[in-house]
Structure 1
Amino acid sequence: MKNEPHGLLLAHRAMVRDLDRLAELASGLTTGRERLDRKRAAAVAAYLGDFCDSIHHHHAAEDEVLWPVLERSAGAHVDLTELTDDHAVLDPKLARIRAGAREVRDRQTVTAELAADLADLRDTLKEHIADEERTIVPLIKRYVSDEDWAKVEATIRKRGAKMSFEVPRILAVSTEEELAEARKDGGIPVALMIKIMPLSFRRREKLVFSA
């Protein structure tokens, strides 16, 4: 299908999954429903750090790569002011969560403030993602050429996302049909990636999200 932004939608899907489970995890640890030892504290802190990096990378790529192409292609049909303003409020929120993650690592403690910050980030980003998918995705499909969309995706891939973090999370939210299509398009290298990359990541997830 022309300009079907599967990568963008999958990134959103993975982000929403983590927003839900990180907010739930922090709430559980704050209220004492789950234990937290030094090893797990370090794992939780590291995951939070990677997650904040992932969000920043995603929205910076939209601001600096996708938005200019969309504005050039759609012209008066697009107004990105509200979405750009949403992005501007993210950095302070991420900074608070990074600070909370350091406290988790150093004190093996999840504070009520961190739990509240994660719940706030979840609510903010869920609303933002819904707005973006309702307004931006149809404009991409209608106005951005195949050639320009391919350039957007290629440019974003070169921006240095942490693939050992991004790929397993994307795979986890992909349907069997989407995985089959990826194997078909990517051949043996992609099939091997789909099989191998999630293995160590699952161990990491088990430590972070399991009591």
Structure 2
Amino acid sequence: MTAPATTPDLLGMRLTHRIMRRDLHRLAATAGRLAGGRSCDTRRAKALVRWVTTLADEIHHHHTVEDELTWPLIERHAGTAVDLTVLSDDHRALDPLLDDLRRAAAGFLDAPIHPERAAVLADALGRVRDELDEHIENEEAELFPVIERYVPAAEWQEMEKAIRRGGPPAGFVLPRMAEVAAPGELAALKAEAGPVLVLLLGLLRPRHARRVRPVFGTS
């Protein structure tokens, strides 16, 4: 019988960070091309804005549960070995940027044929992208070693279960995680979740592909 892990498994958080950053980069690039004059019909505009707003909700949920669940757990075990002030300040800086992004998405949807609306959206996406890139790089470099040293694996696992409740739908999250995971990472996810993950991915991937196509399938 395998002994329980004593070090927290941070793969889920790493993949969550990775999908958010990847989406922001490719959405900003897509909006930039539309601002440069690429055509965008109503169907594509709706799909693009739906993706942007769902991503904004995902980012907000992620940093909210970090403030409410993750940071207290880390502080309880690491004590003075960690200072979360800067990371918490980053979260507060993100909220108005996400509000700007939602407004830019609504403005674009209202008139997608106007390149200037796409330019505003591209700018809003770029500002969130840059803020989140810096925040995540600092978090993973400075905080992940602290988590691995001080936080019990069982408590981290319970916290991750709580985080998943109320988060974005699995149909949005799981296929994107599978796309960014390296083969060894995906194998680890499947080993932990068991056959249910393989089944879910098989069910979710076709619908996910249909959502991806109008957003990213045309340059």
Structure 2 length-normalised TM: 0.91
TM-fit CA distance, 1:35: 1.4
Mapped to 2, the partners of 1:150 and 1:79 lie a distance apart of 22
Which of 70, 79, 82 is the aligned partner of 1:78? 82
RMSD (Å) for aligned C-alpha atoms: 1.3
* Percentage of matched positions with identical amino acids: 40
Cα shift readout 1:122-176 (whole Å, capped 9, x = no counterpart): 1111011000000111111000012211221121122333222111111111112
Query: Within the alignment, does 1:35 sit opposite 2:42 as a pair?
Result: no
Is the contact made by 1:23 and 1:119 (CA closer than 8 Å) also made in structure 2?
yes
Q: Which residue of 2 aligns with 1:6?
A: 11
Task: Tell me the secondary structure at the aligned position of residue 171 of structure 2.
Answer: helix
> Which residue identity lines up with residue 23 of structure 1 in the other structure?
A
Task: Tell me the secondary structure at the aligned position of residue 94 of structure 1.
Answer: helix
Mapped to 1, the partners of 2:207 and 2:162 lie a distance apart of 28
What does 1:80-159 align with in structure 2 at a 5 Å threshold? 80-108=84-112, 109=114, 110-159=117-166
> Which residue identity lines up with residue 73 of structure 1 in the other structure?
H
Which of 57, 60, 66 is the aligned partner of 1:56? 60
Cα shift readout 1:102-122 (whole Å, capped 9, x = no counterpart): 122221243322211111111
Tell which deviates more after alignment, 106-115 or 53-62. 106-115
Mapped to 2, the partners of 1:99 and 1:158 lie a distance apart of 27
Cα shift readout 1:170-208 (whole Å, capped 9, x = no counterpart): 111111222222222322211111222122111111101
Task: Tell me the secondary structure at the aligned position of residue 17 of structure 2.
Answer: helix
Query: Within the alignment, does 1:197 sit opposite 2:204 as a pair?
Result: yes
Mapped to 2, the partners of 1:86 and 1:205 lie a distance apart of 30
What does 1:163-182 align with in structure 2 at a 5 Å threshold? 163-182=170-189
Is the contact made by 1:23 and 1:115 (CA closer than 8 Å) also made in structure 2?
yes
Query: Within the alignment, does 1:160 sit opposite 2:164 as a pair?
Result: no
Is the contact made by 2:32 and 2:118 (CA closer than 8 Å) also made in structure 1?
no
Mapped to 2, the partners of 1:177 and 1:195 lie a distance apart of 19
Is the contact made by 1:10 and 1:174 (CA closer than 8 Å) also made in structure 2?
yes
Mapped to 2, the partners of 1:176 and 1:196 lie a distance apart of 20
Mapped to 2, the partners of 1:162 and 1:31 lie a distance apart of 33
Task: Tell me the secondary structure at the aligned position of residue 188 of structure 2.
Answer: helix
Q: For structure 1, which runs of at least 5 residues remain unmatched after alignment?
A: none
Cα shift readout 1:41-99 (whole Å, capped 9, x = no counterpart): 11111111101001001111111110000011100000000000000011111111111
Task: Tell me the secondary structure at the aligned position of residue 116 of structure 1.
Answer: helix
Cα shift readout 1:7-28 (whole Å, capped 9, x = no counterpart): 1100011111111101101111
Q: For structure 2, which runs of at least 5 residues remain unmatched after alignment?
A: none
Mapped to 1, the partners of 2:196 and 2:160 lie a distance apart of 19
Task: Tell me the secondary structure at the aligned position of residue 111 of structure 1.
Answer: helix
What is the count of residue pairs matched by the alignment? 210
